[in-house]
Every structure is written in structure tokens, then in C-alpha cells.
């Protein structure tokens, strides 16, 4: 079985408070975008162990920390008859870029195993498992534009379609540590009602929508701030960092898509 886990961007990201469990409450709009990894799962022989390999972009860390393997182990723990599998991931979405690529891979693994072995998990149960993998993972079970609250697991569909625009993603290859980013925040403890985004024209987002991580990240990494400024100078209707960075996206009118001059080493993709 093969699937193609896609990335996401955050439209607005408000950290509204610290939770007793150590996590943070947030509000954001998750929006799926057409940049994808490729994920294949096949059954291994009965005398083999579950295997994971990858191609494409480098994936740092130990194999046991990969969310695809963690997803398999979560289900194996509750469904002991789940056979060993071979997982191959072709990594195209940049790592540590605020695009949710790892979260998508883990969530898609849950979905694929559920379908491949007829486990019978409901969508709500898949979301429960996904939250055990990470705060962004539940979104990829639904994979539709959503207003997210809580850790990111409380999802409400929103009517938002950006097909009439062109979106460019720029990533300078800077890894922003998410833990550091959270400790650097000035938590505002307020609600910006992003759920009402459908009532705000894209042309006015610049005046209303913010990503709370931009202030500390831009201060620490001026190159990321410069990307956002360059996108606005090029005519972007709206530009923002996604997640805790380091990817910055710009939304442009399809009729006036500019030529952008960024270093060749930057990841640049129009969607």
C-alpha cells in the first residue's frame, strides 16, 4: 500500500496559555498543501521484524524515534496480532520546517495500517492515537482546513479555499528547535478568534493575523525575518512563518506571480 502524506501551513498561530500537563494551549488554522512525501507499507515475512528505511531528504535521529515506527508500535501494543511490516518513506517535505511533515507521516501510517489490516478504528479513535504521536498529528487524520484549539487536537472544519491564489514556500535550511521556541514566547493569554477567518478577506489578513513565534524566531534568526519582508516587497498579499519555523510562505494573486530571487540553497516551492 502506498500513500502520499502532505504538508500543512499554519495561518495564524496564537499561544494562549501554559497547561498543567506542560504543553501549551494554542489557536491556529491548519491548511493542507500539496507538497508530499511518499510512504509505502508492505507485510514482512512472519520470521522478520518490522523494518523502516528511507530515501530523499536526510532524517536525523534514531530509527526508533521516527513517527512511522512509533505509530506501528502504538497499534501493535493494542493489537498484538498486527504482523511485522516493511515501511519505506521517501522524504520530500523539509524536516524541522514548520510544515508538519513528520506528523503527517505518522498519521498516515496509522491510517494505512488501519486500512491494510482491517483493524476497524473509527476516525475519532485514530485521532486519539495520533495525539499520542504529537500535537500536529490529529489534523492529518481529517486533513481538511481546520481551526485547531487545545494542543492542536480539538479540530473544527473551516470554510477556507485558497485555490484562486498561488502560495510559495521558502525554507532557508535553518532548524528552529521547537522546545526553545516555546520557552522564548511571550504568552499573550488572549483569543484572536481565528475561527472567523472566513469572514476576513485574504487581502486584510496582514492587519489581523499573527504567528506568536515570529517575534522570538525573527530576533534569533534575522534571515527568516528577511524572507517575510522580501515576500511582501515582491507583492505578497499575505506572508507568514509556518509553525515555529523556519519555513515562510507568501500568498500571491495568480495573475501577478513574481520571479523571486532567493539563494539556490533555499527550498522554494510554488503550490
Which of 8, 91, 166, 269 is an active site residue? Answer: 8
H-only helix segments in the chain: 67-78, 101-116, 123-133, 137-142, 178-183, 205-208, 214-220, 222-233
From CA 204, how far away is CA 31, in angstroms rounded?
18
Q: Sort strands 85-91 and 51-56 into parallel, antiparallel or unpaired.
A: parallel
pLDDT tens for 227-261 read 999 999 999 999 999 998 899 999 999 988 898 98
What DSSP character marks residue 165? E
pLDDT tens for 82-134 read 999 999 999 999 888 899 999 999 999 999 999 999 999 999 999 999 999 99
pLDDT tens for 197-231 read 878 899 999 998 999 999 999 999 999 999 999 99
Task: Mention the CATH class of domain 2-157.
Answer: alpha beta
Contact 149, 193 (CB under 8 A): no
Residue 136 designated active-site: yes
How many beta carbons lie within 10 A of that of residue 117, not counting itself?
16
Q: Beginning with the edge strand found earlier in the chain, give each strand of the sheet holding 248-253 in spatial order.
A: 238-241, 248-253, 165-171, 267-270
Which of 136, 192, 212, 228 is an active site residue? Answer: 136
| Predicted confidence (pLDDT) at residue 10 exceeds the cutoff of 80 | yes
What DSSP character marks residue 246? S
- What DSSP line would sit under 65-92, residue for residue? GSHHHHHHHHHHHH-TTPPPEEEEEEE-
Query: According to the CATH classification, is domain 165-270 in 1.10.760.10?
Result: no
pTM of the full structure:
0.93
Residues 6+ apart with CB under 8 A from 142: 123, 127, 155, 157
pLDDT at 5: 98
> Residue ranges per domain, the chain?
2-157, 165-270
pLDDT at 232: 97
pLDDT at 72: 98
Amino acid at each position: 500500500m502506498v500513500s502520499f502524506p502532505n504538508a500543512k501551513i499554519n495561518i495564524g498561530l496564537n499561544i494562549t496559555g501554559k497547561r498543567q500537563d506542560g504543553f501549551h494551549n494554542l489557536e491556529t488554522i491548519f491548511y493542507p498543501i500539496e507538497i508530499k512525501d511518499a510512504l509505502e507499507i508492505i507485510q514482512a515475512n512472519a520470521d522478520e521484524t518490522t523494518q523502516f528505511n528511507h530515501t530523499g531528504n536526510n532524517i536525523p535521529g534514531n530509527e526508533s524515534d521516527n513517527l512511522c515506527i512509533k505509530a506501528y508500535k502504538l497499534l501493535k501494543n493494542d493489537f498484538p496480532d498486527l504482523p511485522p511490516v516493511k515501511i519505506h518513506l521517501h522524504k520530500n517535505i523539509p524536516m524541522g520546517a514548520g510544515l508538519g511533515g513528520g506528523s503527517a507521516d505518522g498519521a498516515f501510517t496509522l491510517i494505512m495500517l488501519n486500512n491494510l489490516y482491517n483493524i476497524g478504528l473509527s476516525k475519532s479513535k485514530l485521532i486519539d492515537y495520533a495525539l499520542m504521536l504529537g500535537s500536529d498529528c490529529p489534523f492529518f487524520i481529517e486533513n481538511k482546513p481546520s481551526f485547531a484549539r487545545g494542543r492542536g487536537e480539538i479540530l473544527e472544519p473551516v470554510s477556507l479555499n485558497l485555490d484562486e491564489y498561488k502560495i510559495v514556500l521558502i525554507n532557508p535550511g535553518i532548524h528552529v528547535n521547537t522546545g526553545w521556541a516555546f520557552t522564548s514566547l511571550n504568552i499573550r493569554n488572549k483569543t484572536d478568534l481565528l475561527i472567523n477567518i472566513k469572514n476576513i478577506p485574504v487581502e486584510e489578513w496582514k492587519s489581523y493575523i499573527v504567528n506568536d513565534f515570529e517575534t522570538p524566531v525573527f530576533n534569533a534568526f534575522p534571515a527568516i525575518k528577511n524572507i517575510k519582508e522580501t515576500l511582501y516587497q515582491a507583492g505578497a498579499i499575505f506572508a507568514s512563518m509556518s509553525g515555529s519555523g523556519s519555513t515562510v510562505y507568501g500568498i500571491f494573486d495568480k495573475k501577478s506571480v513574481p520571479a523571486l530571487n532567493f539563494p539556490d540553497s533555499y527550498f522554494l516551492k510554488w503550490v
